[in-house]
Structure 1
């Protein structure tokens, strides 16, 4: 999906959405809270085939429905149950973290926190499922999975350089 955002001075904002399937939708959010949505012809992306106007309350209700707040499809319910309390966090590291320069094994991340580093991103390079010998680099982002308490323990390991 591709989303382009444009300021409309004196009016509000315009969002142009092109879905993976090639559908084009334009959403205009007016400064007064009104929303306009335009759906375009698939074969002629300049030809609007439908338009709807909503006030702020209506738009929020529609957003809740589309976003799955009022109904979760059965397939997604199973995924939610499987992950239940698990949280994925992204930690952007700078030189202030004591864990930098130490290996995952040296920090005993899993033993000391229960959390698991599932990826490290540095300088446009991805390391998926890094092993215990992987040394944590500065200016990188760690992707970590664990429950809330495990994430808190992991953050302390990052800050202190030990469990």
Structure 2
């Protein structure tokens, strides 16, 4: 997810977030504590599909809910204990990713990052569990990766840059 912050003189600050799924979210934090949250149209980011207004207390409570402070799913807690420092991440191969059209072996992912691709789900929902080095990565595929945090940072760079 990437963010763009803009100062709004006399109003506050605007943060626009582009999610991994390709959606856009704009949050305006007013100097008086009010928050406005907009779900922006994908085709026209000047328009929005929905809007929510929260006061300061509501925004802090919703933030705690989203951040997991008020409820943490039991399954996630068990996974964290079982995996320790290992993390499972999902990467959607967006059209600008340079890894598209290359195989896992071409990219030498395991050797270069220490991470392991444990599954790939293609746009047409074809699943490849424990894919081999000869699997060709395609646009909009979902790549499921197991590794430590540093490994995850490295694999993201490999998928983005596509360099061998």
| TM-score, with structure 1 as normaliser | 0.52
User: Which residue in the other structure is 2:141 paired with?
Assistant: 140
- Which structure 1 residue ranges, 4+ long, deviate > 3 Å from structure 2? 76-82
- With over 3 angstroms needed to count, the CA separation of the structure-2 counterparts of 1:77 and 1:152, relative to structure 1, is closer
| 1:79, distance to aligned residue in structure 2 (A) | 5.2
Query: Which runs of structure 2 are paired with 1:30-49 in the superposition (5 Å)?
Result: none
Mark the structure with the bigger radius of gyration: 1
Q: State the distance in 1 between where 2:87 and 2:80 align.
A: 11
Q: State the distance in 2 between where 1:135 and 1:152 align.
A: 21
| TM-score, with structure 2 as normaliser | 0.52
User: Which residue in the other structure is 1:114 paired with?
Assistant: 114
Unaligned residue ranges in structure 2 (runs of 5+): 1-57, 59-64
Query: Which runs of structure 2 are paired with 1:8-157 in the superposition (5 Å)?
Result: 67=71, 80-122=80-122, 123-157=124-158
Unaligned residue ranges in structure 1 (runs of 5+): 1-55, 57-62
Count residues in correspondence: 103
CA RMSD of the aligned region, Å? 3.0
| 1:78, distance to aligned residue in structure 2 (A) | 7.3
